[in-house]
């Protein structure tokens, strides 16, 4: 079989990712997954971590739609980690929202809430309403599957408010679907724990709000009538309402439509579990226990097969209710024990994931420490490249950079810079008489004196050997000369005998002010000439 050539450039990878997302939008999930895999392999081959992360996130979406939640969990987790390493907060938020929804589907509620809350916090740094909507939507999903219905409502309503106040306004479709799901799960649990149906008005209102959004062209990123999951879920909701209102005949017709939508993926997904749930509810309403019990068993079996642990747990609760309705309380307790065992297995399974997360966090910290070490080393190297190693004051390169910058901007400041060249008198004689070690001490002390007499914006630097220079940023020439005279005096009166008995040291200084058209070379040449005149006068 001929394999298509792998893309070799970023634009090729980007084009393939667009193809993958387009396939998802039209419901061709398997094609989208295959294309995402191509992008991932190509990005790994090119050592392109950004497109690895993007491909992993797309794969997570595909696997989530195919009800392969463990694969989606691994992909979204890897994507979030990769985006974090890249410093791509936007990508990390997108990956975390997906990871939160996938995690809670697997029953890992704490992990889901952690991911969702982190995505909400990170989205606040982005000033991006779309990311905030996605984050609060994911938080709502994590809360309602964790039975935190009030908090789920609050998070989803926040998502809707942000979407409606955005400029331009954003879709509220997905948060509204999840508001409806919150009500479905709440009613299911209340029926189980209270033993009777609560009011169903809110369920109808929320479903009708979703249908109204579709009628107005707001179906999220999918075109009306083409999003398989959306159509199937809405049909499921309609079926439940018909059953819970006693309209069993209509529910029987509606469940066949649900089955048709569930079959569109051409593989077993969580939508098939919803179909069995509805059929079990229909049979329960008619007290057809021979049908109800197998259907709820099939619901659990499918949920386990597609790794939708939340539906599997609901299936155990539904089975317990069915046995209880028949007066079979022992079997009802058995189902609750199975539920507890499943929850324990979920927690155990989640521990391995948390260990992996800790490994990644340690790896991230090590990488961050490595980056910080590189930054510190870079700063140290930069400092060394601009600093004289003997005296600790700026070196020739630093002087040339600073003085050159001052000359280029001197016209804007009014007063020109002045440069003073400094030479240690008879320095060779000091080295020959007292040793090079003493000579080095002389240079260090002179550097200290120079630094103590210059302003913050001025610079004292060592050029080479016994040559120093002072750059006065913006000063009149006569003021610069006065400062230099004080420096000459300070060097002359310094107690040099504290370094070596009989030691004496002095300096010669020449000062020149920058003139129009001056280069650093012409300016220092005039300073140098002035310094030699000073040296001859005091010889």
What CATH number does residue 496 fall under?
3.30.70.270
Which residues are bridge partners to 537 per DSSP?
none
Residue 345, domain extent = 225-386
Q: In the prediction, which pLDDT does 222 show?
A: 46
**Around Cβ 354, how many Cβ atoms within 10 Å?**
13
CATH number, domain with residue 293? 1.25.40.10
Domain membership flag for residue 15: no
Together in a domain, 248 and 269: yes
Q: Cα separation of 101 and 68, whole Å?
A: 13
Which positions ≥6 away from 495 have C-beta within 8 Å? none
Q: In the prediction, which pLDDT does 225 show?
A: 35
Together in a domain, 264 and 382: yes
Together in a domain, 420 and 512: yes
Domain membership flag for residue 303: yes
Q: In the prediction, which pLDDT does 136 show?
A: 95
Tens digit of pLDDT for each residue in 151-168?
Answer: 999 999 999 999 999 888
Q: In the prediction, which pLDDT does 1 show?
A: 36
Count of H helices and E strands in the chain? 21, 4
pTM over 0.95: no
Q: In the prediction, which pLDDT does 367 show?
A: 54
Q: In the prediction, which pLDDT does 456 show?
A: 84
Q: Cα separation of 250 and 289, whole Å?
A: 20
335, 358, 386: which is the final residue of a domain?
A: 386
Q: Cα separation of 144 and 300, whole Å?
A: 20
Together in a domain, 531 and 433: yes
Domain membership flag for residue 455: yes
Number of domains in the chain: 2
Supply the DSSP string of 119-135, one letter for each residue. HHHHHTTTT-HHHHHHH
User: Rounded to an integer, what is the distance from CA 88 to the centroid of its chain?
Assistant: 5
Listed as ranges, residues in the chain with pLDDT below 50 are: 1-8, 222-226
Q: Cα separation of 232 and 312, whole Å?
A: 19
Q: In the prediction, which pLDDT does 16 show?
A: 87
Query: DSSP 3-state assignment of 158?
Result: helix
386, 412, 436: which is the final residue of a domain?
A: 386
């Amino acid at each position: 079989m001929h394999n298509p050539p792998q893309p070799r450039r970023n634009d090729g990878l980007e084009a393939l990712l667009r193809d993958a997302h387009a396939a998802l939008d039209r419901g061709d999930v398997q094609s989208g997954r295959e294309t995402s895999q191509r992008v991932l392999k190509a990005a790994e081959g090119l050592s392109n971590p950004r497109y690895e992360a993007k491909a992993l996130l797309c794969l997570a979406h595909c696997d989530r739609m195919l009800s392969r939640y463990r694969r989606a969990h691994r992909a979204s987790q890897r994507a979030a980690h990769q985006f974090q390493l890249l410093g791509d907060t936007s990508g990390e938020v997108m990956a975390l929202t997906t990871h939160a929804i996938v995690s809670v589907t697997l029953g890992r509620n704490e992990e889901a809430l952690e991911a969702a809350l982190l995505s909400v916090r990170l989205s606040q740094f982005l000033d991006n309403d779309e990311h905030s909507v996605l984050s609060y939507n994911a938080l709502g999903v994590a809360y309602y599957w964790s039975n935190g219905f009030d908090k789920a409502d609050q998070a989803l309503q926040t998502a809707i408010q942000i979407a409606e106040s955005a400029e331009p306004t954003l879709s509220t479709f997905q948060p509204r679907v999840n508001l409806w799901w919150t009500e479905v799960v709440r009613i299911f649990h209340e029926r189980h724990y209270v033993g009777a149906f609560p009011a169903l008005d809110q369920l109808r209102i929320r479903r009708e709000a979703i249908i109204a959004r579709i009628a107005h062209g707001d179906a999220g990123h999918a075109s009306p009538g083409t999003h398989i999951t959306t159509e199937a879920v809405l049909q499921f909701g309609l079926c439940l309402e018909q059953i819970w209102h006693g309209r069993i005949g209509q529910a029987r017709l509606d469940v066949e439509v649900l089955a048709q939508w569930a079959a569109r993926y051409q593989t077993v997904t969580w939508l098939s579990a919803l179909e069995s749930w509805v059929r079990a509810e229909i049979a329960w309403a008619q007290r057809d226990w021979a049908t109800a019990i197998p259907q709820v068993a099939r619901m659990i079996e499918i949920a386990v097969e597609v790794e939708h642990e939340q539906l599997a747990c609901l299936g155990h609760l539904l089975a317990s209710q069915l046995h209880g309705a028949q007066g079979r309380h022992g079997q009802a307790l058995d189902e609750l024990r199975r539920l507890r065992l499943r929850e324990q297995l979920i927690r155990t399974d989640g521990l391995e994931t948390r260990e992996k997360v800790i490994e990644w966090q340690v790896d991230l910290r090590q990488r961050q420490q490595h980056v910080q070490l590189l930054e510190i080393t870079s700063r140290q190297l930069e400092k060394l490249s601009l600093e004289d190693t003997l005296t600790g004051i700026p070196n020739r390169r630093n002087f040339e950079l600073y003085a050159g910058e001052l000359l280029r901007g001197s016209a804007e400041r009014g007063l020109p810079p002045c440069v003073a060249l400094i030479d240690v008198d008879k320095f060779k004689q000091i080295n020959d008489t007292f040793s090079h070690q003493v000579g080095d001490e002389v240079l260090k002390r002179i550097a200290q004196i120079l630094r103590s007499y210059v302003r913050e914006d001025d610079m004292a630097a060592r050029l080479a050997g016994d040559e120093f220079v002072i750059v006065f940023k913006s000063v009149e020439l006569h003021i610069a000369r006065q400062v230099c005279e004080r420096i000459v005096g300070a060097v002359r009166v310094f107690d040099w005998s504290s370094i070596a008995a009989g030691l004496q040291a002095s300096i010669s200084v020449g000062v020149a002010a920058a003139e129009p058209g001056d280069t650093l070379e012409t300016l220092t040449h005039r300073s140098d000439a002035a310094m030699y005149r000073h040296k001859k006068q005091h010889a």
